[in-house]
Structure formats: structure tokens, C-alpha cells
A and B are shown apart, each in its own frame.
Chain A
Amino acid sequence: MKALIIDDEDLARSVVREHLAAHPDVEVVGECANGFEALKAAAEHHPDLVFLDIQMPKLDGFEVLELLEAEGKRPAVVFVTAYDQHAMRAFESHAVDYLLKPFSKERFDAALAKARALQAAQPAAPAPSATDLAAAARQGKPLERIVVKDGPKVTVVHLDRLDWIQAQDDYVLLRTEGRSLLKQQTLASLESQLDPNRFIRIHRSYILNLDRLVRVEQDSKEHRDAVLRDGTTLPISRAGYQRLRTLWEGA
């Protein structure tokens, strides 16, 4: 069994390595200090199991997992974190294991055994997606940034730099600072994770960053357009206009 240890702290990685030494059938194929290294190592070694820290610079643990998924890889995951334990409790319903730092040998062995069992059983139900896990751990707080794999490159889009989002079949097109990025996700699933006071579904195919809206133009009785700061116009559906109005009237 091939394992990857991902944590930005040397000492934190060494604890996991030390505990793994007692399990000779598990081979540590790499240690990574950040998400980018992790993606590279995963592409190279195809690990069966990853020990994944959550709070890391640039890319957090959920984003690393999400990007691995985007490449069609889904190794067994044990989250290793000093993260809020209430957030971690949300994982219990998702059959994902976690270790709260610091942890005992017994607890570590139990997590490893569970990961092995899950991998051996090839469960009928697919593993929960990384975005679902991240949403559960956020405990209702909206998303702050989106990671996109753009060929070999990974781009992190901070939401205050996101202008609007367009649905394109199974993909969403993210428009940010004059660039367009494609990400495999449905508009509805993305919408459910955004702050509804900042991002409005103005149309079946569009979500708008409210901050970019300058005015609403009415072409005909039934047709309205949103005019954005950079001059772009996006269509507003009748339901979208209703949502905008509720927001304005509520404010």
C-alpha cells in the first residue's frame, strides 16, 4: 500500500511517518509540505492512501483532495489536523476518518485500519466529494475561494475577484479579471456553497457577483439585462429579477 504524507510542518509529518514504521506493508512514497507538491507527488506515485493536513498555505487539504478528484484519483484519505473538532464531527457521517493532533498510536492504528477496510471493500456508495466535505467542515459558512485545474496549472480564484459564473453543461465558466476558467461542477452545486447575499442566480445559466452590478436595463416588457462595471451585459430572467428585488427590499 502506497501512502503520501501531506503537511506543511516537518514535525507533524515525522509523527505520521513514525507511526507508519510499525506497518511494514505501507510504503511512504512521498512527503509533501504543500498542496502543489502533493499534486505532483500524487501524479507520480498514485498513492492508495493520503494523510492530509487541512490548514496549509496556498491550498488547503480539501482543495488538494478536490484537485486529485478532478484528475480522476480518489485515494483513501485520513485527515490529520488540529482543526476545530466540531468541524471534524461533520465528517463522521461521511465515512471519512480524521486524526486530531496530537493523537495516540492506538488512534492512529484504528484510522489506518479503517482506511484499509474501506479501500478493500470498494464501497458501493461513492466516496463523498471533497467539495461536500469542505462544505460540511465549514458548517454553513460560505465558500471563500475556488480552485480550478487549468491544464497542468492550478489557479486559486478568490471570490472577491470573481465577476460572474456561467453554466456550460457539466462545467461552470468562471469569469475573473478578464480571464475565463472552466471547472467541472454544476452551477447549482456551486451556487449552494456561495454567500447568497454576494452571489445571485440572475438567470438559469448565470450567477453574478452583486458587487459588479451597475444597473439593470429593461429592453422589453419581459426582458432585462444586468450591466456590469466593465460594460458586460448578462441576461436576467424573471425569477432572477425577483431574487434581486427581494435582496434589495430586504436591505
Chain B
Amino acid sequence: MHPLLANRARLGAYLLGWAPIALLLMGIARTQNWSWAEGAALALPLCLIAAFLFLSAWFLCRALPLGQRVETLGSHGAAWGLAAVLMGSIWAGLAWLLARVLAWIPGLGALPRHVDIALPVLTGLGILLYLASVALSYLMLAQERALEAERKGAELQILAQESELKALRAQLNPHFLFNSLNSLSALTAVDPARAREMCVLLSDFLRRSLGLGERRQVALREELDLARAYLAIEQIRFGTRLKLDWRIDPATEPALLPTLLLQPLVENAIKHGIAALPEGGTLAVAAEVVEGHVLLRVDNPLDADAPVPQGLGLGLRQVRQRLLGRFGNRARFEATAQDGLHRVTLVFPLEMEP
């Protein structure tokens, strides 16, 4: 579809652009001793015809895109010239025909004679106007291409953001990694069997988290397995300071959710809950089904002396954004801190792999 025909406002502007050309035609006709009525009667419909007839230039231009190379100018130029001569002639022919029709109207009887004299001028004018249409069409095509490029750019930007997220997901918490390796270093001397166990746990966690980074959504079961692998390592690090309480309804396990949504919650709970307290505490993970939704909860104790954090940290903000990005208003994110307990609750529709 022609871009000018597709949009009413643009079509209006285009037709308005023809008004001065119609006036010019009338002016020229006056200099040739036409009457005003004759000039107007011919110029107005003729311009309207030209306006639509010369829209065809756009299709020609689309078929002959302007390349970088100068060589194309020759063949393109020939095509433009041929089309221009053809269209200019058709237009002049239509003027000839129109003049004969209009001659029936009283007072315009002299029109066919006037037009016959002006035919060469009209043909030339038609050729020029058609070439102008060609130029205009190339301008429109260029603008369209620019808009398209802009849209593609925006799309690429979204893709880049997504891959950034992916990198973020695959990123391991270096503090966790180095502390775990240090625990491992300690165990090799005091308890080689546990050191080996730690190696296995660490590999298990790394393998799972690398595998998950590749996917957009996973079953809750896999997220829970990853959290278990992670917490088993932290259990070795923190010893009796870390107590775990799992309350998982098996019905929630096949539920789909965005990848690595639970992991930041448990990491947060360790960092701000267990590691910040000399005596540690209980980290509780609960999942249940409530009215067709999964309710996923992570609780950790808080340092009562530290100020209650204002707003969400970056990790929790990203969890919320990704949860709501996936489920919209069908999901809910809540983070509360009171009576020495920090609780994050995610509620999202129970949807499973088909």
C-alpha cells in the first residue's frame, strides 16, 4: 500500500501541496488569454488527476532502490525518463479529453482549442511533475527506511537488555565462591571426607546454576533443587548458625516461573539474615498452593539493632520486576520486615508445562 494512501492526514497534506501547482497552471493559462473560468475548470480537475496518477512513481521507486553505486543511475535514469514521458503524455491526453467534455458547459466552448495549442506545454509540465514525484517518493522511502532502522535499533536494545539479564543470572556471587573455597581449604586438613563432599556440592551447584542461566523459565522444582544445593554449601560454612526449615507442598513443584527467581531470595536471606547475626537463625522456605496460585515464601531473622532497610535492594527489585514482567497483575510481590523477621512472598499463577 502506498504510504500516502494509508494515512488520511498525509494524503490531505499531499493534496494541499498540489493547490499551488493548480494556481500556477491557472496563472499560466491567464497569460495565454484564457478566461479565469476556463483556467479553473481545467486546472483543478487536472491537478487532482495528476495527484493520483503520479502516486504511481512511488511503486517505480520502490522497485528501483537507490544504491550506493553510480552505475545504477544510468539504468534508473532511463526508467524514470521513460515513465515520465509516458505519464506526462497520458496526463496531457487526459487534459485533451477533459477539455472536450468540459466544452459542453456553456461558456467553455473555446477550451478544446486552447488546450490543443497548449498540449506540448502540458506534456512537458507533466514530465517535470512526474520527475518531482519520483524525487518525493525517494524521500519518503528514505524516511521509511530510517524509521525502520530506528525500530530495529529499539528492538536490538531490548535484546541487549535481555542478554544483560542473562549475564547477570549467570554471574556468581564471588564472595560466596571465595568463602566456600576457603571452607574447602580448611576441610582438606581437618576432614578430607567432608572436603570431598563440599567439592561435589559446589560442582552440583555450579552445574545447576550454569544450566539454568540458559533458560527463560523453569519448574519450581528445579529452583528448589538449586536452592538446596546452595544452602547445603552454606550449611558447611555456617555450621550450627544456619538452621533450615523446608515446607514444600509437592503440588507446587511443577509450577513454572522465571529462571533464578528463588536464588536471589535465599542469597539475600543468608547475607542479611544469617551472616549478619552472631548466633545465626532459621532460614525458612515455604511453598503452597492457594486458590490456583503458588505462594512462595522465604523468611530469615533480622539484626534487631540494624535499621530497617528503606526500599528494596537491587536483587529484590530485579526479582519483583521479573516476576511482574512475566505474570503482570496476576502475580504479587511482597517484602516485609517486622519483629525481627524479614519475609519475602511471591504469589503467581500455578501454570505447568503443557
Q: Which residues of A contact B (CB under 8 A)?
A: 8-12, 14-15, 18, 33-34, 36, 55, 57-58, 82-83, 100-103, 156, 158, 160-161
Contact = CB atoms under 8 A, between A and B. Distances in A.
Nearest to B185: A102
Interface in B200-252: 236-239
Contacts of A8: 275, 278
> Is chain B's binding surface mostly helix, strand, loop or mixed?
helix
B305 A58 contact: yes
B66 interface: no
Contacts, number: 68
Interface string B292-311: 00000000000101110010
Listed from nearest, the 7 A-B pairs whose CB atoms lie closest are: A101-B182, A82-B178, A11-B186, A102-B185, A102-B182, A15-B186, A11-B183
A8 to B, nearest CB: 7
Contacts of B161: none
B182 A11 contact: yes
A10 B190 CA distance: 12
Given A11-B183, A15-B186, A57-B277, A158 B307 contact: yes
Given A18-B186, A33-B278, A102-B181, A9 B305 contact: no
Interface residues of B, number: 26
Contacts of B190: 11, 14, 18
A100 B178 contact: yes
A55 B186 CA distance: 18
Given A10-B239, A11-B187, A82-B182, 8 more contacts: A18-B186, A33-B278, A36-B278, A57-B275, A57-B277, A83-B175, A102-B178, A103-B185
A110 B217 CA distance: 49
Interface in B315-333: none
Interface string B159-200: 000000000000000110011011111110110000000000
A41 B185 CA distance: 26
Nearest to B240: A10
Among B182, B237, B306, B310, chain A packs the most CB atoms within 10 A around the CB of: B182
B180 to A, nearest CB: 9
A70 B312 CA distance: 36
17 contacts: A8-B275, A9-B183, A12-B182, A14-B189, A14-B190, A15-B182, A15-B185, A15-B189, A18-B189, A55-B175, A82-B178, A83-B175, A100-B178, A102-B181, A103-B185, A156-B305, A160-B307
